[in-house]
C-alpha cells in the first residue's frame, strides 16, 4: 500500500461517502461532550482530590479527543474512494490516502445482510493483505462481517456501510468495474441477502 496516487492515469470521479443526514448529530455531540469534559477536568484538577482524579480525567480526555476528532473528520473531510487503472484508493477523514494496488485486491462486492426483517447493504473489498489502520471503521467492520459472508478466519478486507454513509453500493460497482482487472471479481450480490443474528 502506498500513500500517493498517480495523477497522470485516467481516474473515475471521486466517490465521497458522507455521513447520512440522520447521523450528523454525532460529530456535533462529540464536541459538546469534549467541552463538558474540559470543564469537569478543570474542576477536578483544582479540587481536593486533583492529584488522583486529575490524571484519570486526563487519560479519559485523550480518548474523548480522539473520538471527537474522528467524528468531526467524517463531517468536515468525508471518507472518499478513488479508482484508476492501477489502484483502489481510500482516503479516511483523519488519515493519509491508502492506495491499494489492484494486485492486492481479490474482489469488490455489493452484499446484503438480513437481520430479522431488516436488510442492510455493504460494499465489501476483499484483500490479499491488510490495508488502512487496524482500528479504522472500514477494516474493523470487515472483521465483524467476514464470518457472516463466509470468509475464512484471518482474511483481510474493507467494508463500507450504507446505513452510515450516503451512497449506493451497487452504483459504486458500476464505477469500479471499468478499472478493475479481469482477475478481480466485481459482483452485485444484494439480491441474495446473507442471514445473521448480529445487529450491524
Q: pLDDT tens, 132-152?
A: 999 899 999 999 999 998 898
pTM, whole model, 2 decimals? 0.78
Beta-carbon contacts of 82 under 8 Å, excluding residues fewer than 6 positions away, are 5, 11, 12, 14, 15, 88, 89, 91, 97
Owner of C-alpha cell 479527543: 65
Contact 85, 179 (CB under 8 A): yes
Asked whether the CA dihedral 124, 125, 127, 131 is positive or negative, the reply is negative
Owner of C-alpha cell 463531517: 75
Beta-carbon contacts of 184 under 8 Å, excluding residues fewer than 6 positions away, are 102, 105, 106, 107, 108
- Where is average pLDDT lowest: 38-47, 112-121, 130-139, 191-200? 38-47
Please state at what angle helix 25-46 crosses helix 50-76, rounded to 10 degrees. Answer: 160
The beta-strand segments (E) located in 5-117 are 15-17, 79-83, 87-91, 97-101, 105-115
Of the candidates 90, 96, 87, 99, the one whose C-alpha atom is nearest the C-alpha of residue 123 is 90
What gap in Å lies between CA 155 and CA 143, rounded to an integer?
A: 8
Contact 37, 57 (CB under 8 A): yes
Structure confidence by residue, pLDDT tens digits, 66-121: 777 878 878 888 999 999 999 999 999 887 778 999 999 999 999 999 987 888 99
Contact 148, 111 (CB under 8 A): no
Q: What's the mean pLDDT in 35-51?
A: 69
3-state secondary structure 110-137: EEEEEECCEEEEEEEEEECCCCCCCCCH
Amino acid at each position: 500500500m502506498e500513500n500517493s496516487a498517480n495523477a497522470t492515469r485516467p481516474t473515475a470521479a471521486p466517490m465521497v461517502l458522507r455521513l447520512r443526514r440522520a447521523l450528523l448529530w454525532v460529530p456535533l455531540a462529540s464536541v459538546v461532550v469534549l467541552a463538558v469534559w474540559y470543564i469537569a477536568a478543570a474542576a477536578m484538577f483544582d479540587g481536593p482530590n486533583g492529584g488522583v482524579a486529575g490524571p484519570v480525567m486526563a487519560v479519559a480526555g485523550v480518548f474523548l479527543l480522539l473520538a471527537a476528532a474522528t467524528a468531526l473528520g467524517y463531517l468536515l473531510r468525508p471518507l472518499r474512494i478513488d479508482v484508476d487503472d492501477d489502484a483502489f484508493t481510500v482516503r479516511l477523514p483523519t488519515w493519509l490516502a491508502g492506495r491499494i494496488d489492484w494486485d492486492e485486491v481479490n474482489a469488490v462486492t455489493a452484499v446484503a445482510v438480513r437481520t430479522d426483517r431488516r436488510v442492510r447493504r455493504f460494499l465489501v473489498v476483499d484483500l490479499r493483505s491488510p490495508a488502512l489502520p487496524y482500528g479504522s471503521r472500514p477494516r474493523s467492520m470487515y472483521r465483524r462481517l467476514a464470518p457472516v459472508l463466509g470468509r475464512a478466519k484471518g482474511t483481510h478486507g474493507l467494508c463500507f456501510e450504507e446505513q452510515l454513509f450516503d451512497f449506493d453500493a451497487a452504483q459504486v460497482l458500476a464505477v469500479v468495474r471499468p478499472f478493475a482487472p479481469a482477475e478481480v471479481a466485481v459482483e452485485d450480490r444484494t439480491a441474495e441477502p446473507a442471514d445473521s443474528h448480529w445487529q450491524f
